[in-house]
Structure formats: structure tokens, C-alpha cells
Amino acid sequence: MALNPPDKAVLLVVDVQNDFCPGGALAVPDGDAVVPIVNRLAQRFTDVVLTQDWHPAGHESFVSMHDGKSAFETIVMPYGAQVLWPDHCVQGTPGAEFRDDLAIPHAALVIRKGFRRAVDSYSAFYENDHTTPTGLAGYLRERGLTHVVIAGLAFDFCVRYSAEDARREGFAVTVVEDACRGIDLDGSVAATRASLARHGVTVITSDEVNA
């Protein structure tokens, strides 16, 4: 990983929660495989931020709120296209908890997202309306953190949109691909690789990290 000397890196661990792992409500295939990789990766970083998908019951992204629709269908919301998901990561439920085996006690901040009923939030930086910030960019700037290294779930949704927004906010961005797993809806993993490249996001494997 090319880290320019003045750069200060932060590891952003995206949504390593029970509902995104096998047995969970929105299980990402092989999602639990990222846990040991992320744990190892985190030991190389002084600065770590976690994100936690955190929806109220009855969130508008939940298929249960839309009669006659099926999970993984796309609908148009006031803020644009929205995939309808199985109900997942409901605030205060076991599915919304971090994996028990996620071991990053030195993580300094948890950014919760998707907590407004009418707007989803894939990105750790902005809600899906692309205008409501989470506060993460300001936190990183104030802390002097300039390079965002991203791992977690899901590669083709929350990791992708976090990485692209981080670039828009002017950060150097690296995605550690073996520390991610994807949902892969209609080729979304391949589309993500192409889009990350277009946005100037570097994609590496965890053995290339020497933060």
C-alpha cells in the first residue's frame, strides 16, 4: 500500500454485523470469513473507525414495508433508486450487533447509519440522499487522518459507496478486497470493481498493507 509519508491512515471497518453473516437476515455469502482478516488488519492501525448499519423497525428500505414487492427488487424513492432489502440490522436486536468474534477494542468511533426511517445510508459519509452527512469526514479531517483504508461488508454496497464518497471528500482511499465480501446483485461486484477504479480507489489485498 503506497502511503505517502505525510499521510495518516485510518482503517474503516464497515458493517461486520450478525445480520450480514451466515445465519443473519441479509447474509452476505461467506461474510463471516472477513472477521479474522479484519481483526489481523486492525492490529496494524492506531486509528480504527467502525460502522454499524442501524435501522429503526419499519425502515423504508425494508421489503416488508412495500406490499407486493420482493426482496432485492429496486424501487424509486424520493431520493432515487433503492433496493428493497429483507428487514435487517434493526436497532437493539442481536442481528444489529457486531460479530462476537470481531476483536478491535482500540476502535475509537462507531458511526451508525440508516437510522432515519425514510432514507437508507450505504455510505459511511453520506445518507443515500447524497446530501446528509454522517459527520465522518469532519471527524477524520479534525483528527488529521488523510488516507481511508476500507474493509468489511458488503463490498458492492456499503464498502463501495463509502470508498467513493471518501474520494469525493478528498481522502486517499484503499479497499482491502480479501477483507470484504459482496452480495453480488446482477453483477454488482464486477460493477463495483470498475467503479472503484474510475473513482481513483486503489484495491489491494491484506498482505500488501503495511500501515
Asked whether position 19 contacts ligand VGL by CB under 6 A, the answer is no
Measured between alpha carbons, how far is residue 118 from residues 2, 38, 56, 88, 128 in Å? 39, 31, 10, 15, 10
Catalytic annotation on 32?
A: no
Tell me if 97 sits within 8 A of 18, measured CB to CB: yes
Stretch that binds ligand VGL, among 123-131, 150-158, 185-193, 195-203 (CB under 6 A): 150-158
**Rule CB under 6 A: is residue 98 a binding residue for ligand VGL?**
no
Buried b (16+ CB within 10 A) or exposed e, 26-40: bbbeebbbbbebbbe
Which residue, 24 or 114, is less far from Zn ion as judged by CB?
114
Residue 156 binds to Zn ion (criterion: CB under 5 A): no
Is position 157 an interface residue for ligand VGL (rule: CB under 6 A)?
Answer: yes
Residue 15: active-site member: yes
Interface size with ligand VGL, residues (CB under 6 A): 9
Cα(137)–Cα(142) distance, integer angstroms: 9
Segment lying near ligand VGL (by CB under 6 A), choices 91-99, 153-161, 169-177, 187-195: 153-161
Residue carrying C-alpha cell 496494524:
44
158 is catalytic: yes
| Closest to 25 measured CA to CA, from 81, 97, 75 | 97
What is the spatial distance between Cα 87 and Cα 83, in angstroms, rounded to a whole number? 12
Positive/negative CA dihedral, 182, 188, 192, 193 = positive
**Of these, 19, 32, 47, 53, which contacts Zn ion (CB under 5 A)?**
53
Shortest approach of ligand VGL to residue 8 CB, angstroms? Answer: 26
Q: Which residues are part of the catalytic machinery?
A: 15, 113, 158
Residues near ligand VGL (CB under 6 A): 15, 20, 53, 85, 122, 153-154, 157-158
